Amino acid sequence: MRGLLAALLISALASPVVESLNCVQCNSFTKPCANVSASECPLEEAHSCVSSWSNSLLGGTLSLYEDMSCSAANCSGDPDAFLSFTVRVSDTEHFDFASQCCQGKTCNTTDSTSDSPQEDLSDTQCLACYGWNTTSCTGKPWKCYKGERCVYLIAQFKNATETLVLKGCSNIGTSTCELLSARNETFEGLALQKIECTDATPIALPSPGSRTFPGPLALTSLLLLGLLL
């Protein structure tokens, strides 16, 4: 009997103690989660805190989205624990996204920026457009900044029925694009249903010495002007 009690005591001492974890738990389309206090996570999710954030300005409408929660993910030492990129559609239209996984601690409010210096414009371009609740959009050429590539993505937000389709110039890194496209990644609050990255194409310039001839409408206008004179 004493041997059994000793064995049980040793087993209890050797068992790892599951520590509680407090994370900010917030899902919002209207206001930041910065003022929300952290609360205790369920034991099955008491491993990491995760935060996803997006900011889009499309068609003159500003949309903010933030999701912070507990997670069972093990992101310790993971170089992809923080992801951030911007997709630009025009000078005033863009989509920013960032995601962070914090092992055993509360994440700070995730943030991203779409500001880029104008002097860094390159001689490459991508097709740029956006659409809601569709699978594609017809893009128009848009000039990129240096280091940007072409991105085509389809995303859907948690607790929302709208799907966003987006094409444009992006500062997304190669490893980030490969990670997201391979996993068909679903973050806490945002499902990237599709993402494709390609190199931006050089802007076509007229060859030296080439001449531009007037089109039929311009030629007709010139003939009518000659008759009037």
Could you give the CA distance from residue 222 to residue 217 in angstroms, rounded to a whole number?
Answer: 9
pLDDT band at 150 (very low <50, low <70, confident <90, very high): very high
Q: Which residue has the tokens 């010495």?
A: 209
Residue 142, strand partner residues: 126
**Got the DSSP string for 46-110?**
BTEEEEEEEEEEETTEEEEEEEEEEE----TT-GGGEEEEEEESSSS-EEEEEEEEEETSPPPPP
Per-residue pLDDT at 180? 82
- Does 217 have pLDDT greater than 90? no
Per-residue pLDDT at 168? 95
Per-residue pLDDT at 148? 93
Does residue 151 belong to any structural domain of this protein?
Answer: yes
Does residue 135 belong to any structural domain of this protein?
Answer: yes
Per-residue pLDDT at 152? 94
Per-residue pLDDT at 220? 44
- Does 167 have pLDDT greater than 90? yes
pTM value is 0.73
The mean pLDDT of the chain is 76
Does residue 126 belong to any structural domain of this protein?
Answer: yes
Does residue 209 belong to any structural domain of this protein?
Answer: no
For the ranges 108-122, 161-175, 210-224, the lowest mean pLDDT is seen at 210-224
Does residue 213 belong to any structural domain of this protein?
Answer: no
Could you give the CA distance from residue 19 to residue 154 in angstroms, rounded to a whole number?
Answer: 38
Does residue 115 belong to any structural domain of this protein?
Answer: no
Does residue 185 belong to any structural domain of this protein?
Answer: yes
Does residue 131 belong to any structural domain of this protein?
Answer: yes
Tally the domains of the chain: 1
- The residue range of the domain holding 50 is 22-109+120-198
Per-residue pLDDT tens over the stretch 43-84: 988 889 988 888 888 988 888 888 888 988 888 766 557 888
How large is the average pLDDT for residues 163-185? 84
